[in-house]
Amino acid sequence: MSQWLSRVSSWLWSLGIAFVLSLLISTFIIQPTKVLGQSMEPTLRDHSRILIAKWGHSLGETPKYGDIVIIDSRIDRKRGLHDDLLEYPLFQWMSGASGRDIFWVKRVVGKAGDVLEIRNNQVYRNGEPLDEPYLKEKMTTSGIQIITVPDGCIYVMGDNRNHSKDSRFLGAVPIGHVIGKKL
């Protein structure tokens, strides 16, 4: 009987270590996720699976122009370590939570201090039109929007501009709400 308990104990110890390691890796280094929706077409399709590099988020790095990032759209509240831990896929599955309405996959078009102008179906950054060969179709706009990206924030848009809920709807995204970037 004692040999059997020793084996069970050894297995439980190994499973516990594996769980803690996977939690740490998924929270701070790399995590798989699924794209939900058509806002990033044609670059990413609905239900595509991607890997997120999270070490930049863990280190507070600012993404580069053109990076595809995953953001927490709940920008009206401060994010903390508990948010990172609760995003662990097993915890989401156990709680029945879906990131569909919370986590958005978008492209960085502006960083702190940039002046973005959306006019004539085009995005301009600091007076220069953006070259965006990845767009699904020509963006349709009405009127002119001018946005200055605040300090500590980025401005994000989907590649399917005519069917994307992004910073035009949400506003500038605080760096702390950038969960990671697509590998």
Which residues are known to be catalytic? 39, 106
- Find out whether 145 and 124 touch, Cβ atoms under 8 Å: no
DSSP assigned state of 163: G
In angstroms, rounded to a whole number, what is the distance separating the alpha carbons of residues 173 and 167? 7
H or E stretch covering 92: helix 89-95
SS3 181: strand
Q: Across the strands, what pairs with 31? A: 52
CA distance 153 to 78: 13
- Is residue 165 within 8 Å of 104, Cβ to Cβ? yes
Query: What are the tokens at 121?
Result: 């179906």
Q: What count of other Cβ atoms lies within 10 Å of the Cβ of residue 21?
A: 10
